[in-house]
Amino acid sequence: MKPLRGTKDILPDEIIVWQYVYSIAYEILTLYNYKEIRTPLLENTILFNRSIGNYTDIVNKEMYSFLDQGERNISLRPEGTASIARAFISNKLYLRKKINRLWYLGAMFRYERPQKGRQRQFHQLGIECIGSPNPIADVEVIRLATKILKALKCLEYKLEINSIGNIEERNLYQTQLINYLNKYKYELDISSQNQLKTNPLRILDSKNSKTQEILWEGPKLKDFLKSKSLDHFNEICNHLNSLNISYEINEYLVRGLDYYNYTAFEIKEQSLGSQNTICGGGRYDQLIQQLGGPKTPSVGWAIGIERLVIITQNQLKIQQDNKKIYIAVQIQSNKIRNQIWDIIKTLEELKINFELDLSHSSLHKQIKQANQISAKICFIIGEEEIKNEYITVKWLQTGTQQKIKLNKLKNYLIYLKNGI
């Protein structure tokens, strides 16, 4: 039986890369005082309708929604920010401190066509800086994204940024855009024709060359931005210049979620091909108030873990933390019980990786298994060892053997620990 289409088992020899990504994120984000938060996979569907937007593809086509046994409309979360905003409100985090820096790593769900780096159950690493309208908060989150990517050797990336203004400015622009595009309605691609009625700004993201050609001659969002929006964006650009963080201004970048304002940005990794957006984010100053909380300006981003893992696997040689000691047992008797557990307790105390053979196979086969898992040392315990209270220590790379008295084992392991 195979897993459902668009889902994937993460096997033990792959999970090490996921753990490495987590450890890098934890280290960097802790340095900046970001605190990890974990929200439920299940949320009320209305949360995403109100935050993401009724006319977005996510809400219209991609959400996994259903009625539960209590006749409640439930959805598997399709993205992280709305859940973080809900948690911020329901737990009244705004009463604890003015600025809340939060991060998360978890599964999301969207009904999309599966392809390389894109699954129906996928994972995102995200951060949210909640409570500051200051442009430097935007710069902080952008810089953290680049630091994490660099630490994971994702070096072929391009940062694209844009100012999408506030709701009033976008509404004025949208009216002009609709008036302009209506003149070319039947020259647009089918998807853009549909979006013209429901979500016209999404047409800016069209990859269709003819649609892009039409847009090139049309009204520009930047011409509708007032001084507050422009000043906020210019301040971000000045900070990025000071930090030597390269970026491109993409006037057609709007992001696919309704809650963004002012800053929108994406980071694209060139090595991924056509599906190359690895990080997306922006500022959302109205979302928390829109969901019933206090007015709370915020900014954040999310990184797709599946795509990040593809790059990290290619760039980093992460070594599996293999078993260091294999315990081969040649005798099955009550006599051996206490010695086995005494040895294991010593290894636990010293935090030395080990594996106890459970096969009852011959010594030859047990040593072969020890080599297969790349153990460095094999402890051999048989009749003679039990009788004379020692362990035969076999160094698998050289074949060298030593006899170590049980009462000297701890000191022996302490001495060798750094070299095992």
Binding site per annotation, positions? 79-81, 110, 124, 128, 255, 259-260
| Helix (H) / strand (E) containing 383 | helix 383-388
DSSP 4: P
As a whole number of angstroms, the distance between CA 81 and CA 270 comes to: 26
As a whole number of angstroms, the distance between CA 357 and CA 369 comes to: 9
State the amino acid at position 318 in one-letter form. Answer: I
Query: Which stretches of 35-166 are DSSP H helices?
Result: 45-51, 57, 81-90, 135-151
| Helix (H) / strand (E) containing 182 | helix 167-182
Among residues 386, 378, 401, the alpha carbon closest in space to that of 339 is found at 386
Q: How far is CA 358 from CA 319, 331, 390, in A?
A: 26, 12, 21
Residues comprising the binding site for L-histidine?
Answer: 79-81, 110, 124, 128, 255, 259-260
Burial class (CB in 10 A: 0-12, 13-18, 19+), 290: middle
* Count of beta carbons in the 10 Å neighbourhood of residue 338: 10
- Listing from the earlier edge strand, what are the strands of the sheet with 248-249? 35-36, 100-109, 121-130, 298-304, 277-283, 261-269, 157-165, 248-249
